[in-house]
Structures are given as C-alpha cells and as structure tokens.
C-alpha cells in the first residue's frame, strides 16, 4: 500500500487544470485505489486514466467523478500486470483544493523488481508546472529468499515467491513472502519414505515421536515395542 500526499493546490491562485500521475516501478502491480472527498472541491470533477506496460496508449477507466465524495476503484490484476501510470486528471480547481488530503494505492509485488527494490513515485501537474509528490523514489527493500547452498530458485507462478530446486532440479520447497514474517520456507513432504516408516508430520520432538510409536504399536497389539529415532530430513535427500 502506498499513500500519495502533498498534491493540493498551494499556488495561491485557481488553476485551469491539475493532474496527479503515479508511476509505479517494475515489480509493483497496481490493484486498487481509494480517493477521499477532497477538501475545497465544490464543483470539481476528475477522470481516471492509465497505461499498461508495452503500450503508450492512455486508457480511460472513468470520467466525471465527483471530487466531493470518496471514490474507490480497481483494475484487472492477475499478479503480473504492470500498470506503468495511473493518472487523475482534474478540471479547474480553486485555491487550496485538496490541501491535506491523501490518496491510497494498493499493489501486489511481483518477482521482477530490479535488485529486489520496490519503487513508487508520482508527480503533480498544476497548470504548466510539474513537481514531484511527497517522498518520491522511496524504495521498500524486499530481501531475497535464502536458498540452500548450491540450490536454484524459480518463480512459483503466483507472484509471491519462489520454488527452490536442488542440484538435480528436484523441488525442495517453496519460499513465500509474508509481510509480517519476511520470507518463509515451506518444505515439500518427502515422497521417498518407505511403507512402514513413521510419516513426517512436522513433529521433531523425540518424546512426541516415541509416544506416537508406542501408540501405533499398542494399537496393533504388538508383543514387542520398537522405537526408531527420527532423522532430520536433509534437503535433496531421503529421510
């Protein structure tokens, strides 16, 4: 989520036109936006337009939106559509129009951000003058996942992580980006466990494994109980 601020008409005079243009960098794929009831906006309307990567054509989402009422909109997004510009074109605006207001834009992060840097910035055009918005070019650093030694990463196809492969290109698990926890590795279940072995349930405490072994043995009315120590799974190998 990005917020746009400091875009109001602080020129001290009415303007014949004003535009706010957001330009998300590669890896930031626009989903939706929320615009407020702008301050001092009686009679003001605006249009929403956008561009998609690979095309220079402006496309119109809607026109004539009432600037005195909140407005929320979204654009189609499958996780990889890069909208290079989202533009709000206002007609004539009075002095102090939109002073103190905030626009909120929501994005989904793709896998192709250069150097894992997510960058968003916007400009404001007031009449014939163009100025940067507040805090332009402010990056959010997404640290890359930490693969196992000598292993490879490929995008998972969902736009939110990577599949880790061993040296033989066998999938080991999936790295998923979670905002609160960073990169989280989800290990794939071992498909090479012979029949009769205890399944890998994620319980690595030996006391719990022993309890599970005793329960299985007692349920099967075995005369003797045996206990096999759980071996920690090595990536790319068999348990």
Task: For residue 86, count CB atoms less than 10 angstroms from its CB and return exposed for 0-12, middle for 13-18, buried for 19 or more.
Answer: buried
- 73 and 172 share one domain: no
Q: What is the DSSP letter of 95?
A: T
Please list the alpha-helical segments (H only) found in 19-63.
none
- 137 and 158 share one domain: no
Do 36 and 44 meet the contact criterion of CB atoms below 8 Å apart? no
Task: For residue 35, count CB atoms less than 10 angstroms from its CB and return exposed for 0-12, middle for 13-18, buried for 19 or more.
Answer: buried
59 or 108, greater pLDDT: 59
Mean pLDDT over each residue of the chain, to the nearest integer = 77
- 46 and 85 share one domain: yes
List the one residue out of 165, 162, 161, 170 whose CA is nearest residue 149.
165
160 or 152, greater pLDDT: 152
Question: What pLDDT shows up at residue 102?
Answer: 93
Confidence of residue 88 (pLDDT cuts 50, 70, 90): very high
- 15 and 112 share one domain: yes
Residue 192 inside a domain? The answer is no
Task: For residue 164, count CB atoms less than 10 angstroms from its CB and return exposed for 0-12, middle for 13-18, buried for 19 or more.
Answer: buried
- 57 and 133 share one domain: yes
How many CA atoms does the CB half-sphere of 159 hold within 13 Å? 15
List the one residue out of 155, 91, 82, 145 whose CA is nearest residue 119.
82
Residue 146 inside a domain? The answer is no
Is residue 186 predicted with pLDDT exceeding 50? yes
Do 103 and 33 meet the contact criterion of CB atoms below 8 Å apart? yes
Mean pLDDT of 102-108: 92
Residue 209 inside a domain? The answer is yes
Residue 7 inside a domain? The answer is yes
Do 83 and 24 meet the contact criterion of CB atoms below 8 Å apart? yes
- pTM summary value: 0.59
Residue span of the structural domain in which 226 resides: 199-231
Gyration radius of the chain over CA positions: 27
Distance CA 234, CA 144 (A): 22
Question: What pLDDT shows up at residue 165?
Answer: 84
- 167 and 207 share one domain: no
Residue 40 inside a domain? The answer is yes
- 204 and 166 share one domain: no
Phi, psi (degrees; rounded to nearest 5) at 73: -145, 165
- 114 and 43 share one domain: yes
* β-strands 117-126, 129-132 pairing: antiparallel
- 95 and 159 share one domain: no
Q: How far is CA 67 from CA 40, 42, 155, 225, 229, in A?
A: 9, 8, 41, 76, 68
Confidence of residue 113 (pLDDT cuts 50, 70, 90): confident
- 87 and 40 share one domain: yes
For the chain, percent of residues with pLDDT exceeding 90: 40
41 or 2, greater pLDDT: 41
Per-residue pLDDT tens digits for 16-46: 999 999 999 888 899 999 999 999 999 999 9
Q: What is the DSSP letter of 15?
A: B
**What total of structural domains would you count in the chain?**
3
Mean pLDDT lowest among 23-32, 39-48, 71-80, 113-122 = 113-122
- 84 and 123 share one domain: yes
Residue 97 inside a domain? The answer is yes
Confidence of residue 198 (pLDDT cuts 50, 70, 90): very low
The pair of three-digit structure tokens given for residue 54, joined into one six-digit string: 């690979």
- 222 and 176 share one domain: no
Residue 194 inside a domain? The answer is no
Is residue 188 predicted with pLDDT exceeding 90? no
Is residue 164 predicted with pLDDT exceeding 70? yes
Confidence of residue 84 (pLDDT cuts 50, 70, 90): very high
Residue 147 inside a domain? The answer is no
- Return the CATH number at 54: 2.60.120
């Amino acid at each position: 989520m990005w917020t746009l601020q400091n875009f109001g008409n602080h020129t001290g005079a009415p303007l014949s036109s004003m535009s706010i243009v957001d330009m998300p960098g590669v890896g930031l794929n626009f989903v939706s936006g929320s615009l407020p009831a702008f301050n001092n906006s009686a009679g003001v309307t605006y249009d929403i337009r956008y561009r998609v990567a690979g095309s220079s054509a402006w496309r119109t989402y809607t026109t004539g939106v009432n600037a005195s009422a909140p407005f929320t909109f979204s654009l189609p997004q499958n996780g990889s559509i890069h909208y290079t510009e989202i533009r709000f074109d206002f007609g004539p605006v009075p002095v102090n129009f939109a002073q103190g207001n905030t626009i909120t834009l929501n994005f989904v992060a793709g896998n192709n951000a250069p150097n894992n840097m997510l960058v968003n910035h916007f400009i404001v055009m007031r009449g014939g003058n163009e100025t940067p918005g507040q805090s332009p070019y402010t990056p959010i650093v997404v640290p890359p996942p930490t693969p196992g030694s000598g292993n490879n990463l490929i995008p998972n196809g969902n736009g939110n992580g990577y599949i880790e492969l061993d040296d033989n290109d066998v999938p080991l698990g999936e790295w998923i980006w979670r905002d609160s926890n960073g990169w989280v590795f989800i290990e794939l279940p071992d498909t090479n466990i012979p029949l009769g072995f205890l399944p890998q349930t994620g319980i690595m405490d030996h006391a719990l494994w022993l309890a599970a072994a005793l329960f299985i043995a007692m349920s099967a009315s075995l005369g003797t109980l045996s206990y096999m120590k759980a071996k920690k799974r090595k990536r790319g190998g068999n348990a």
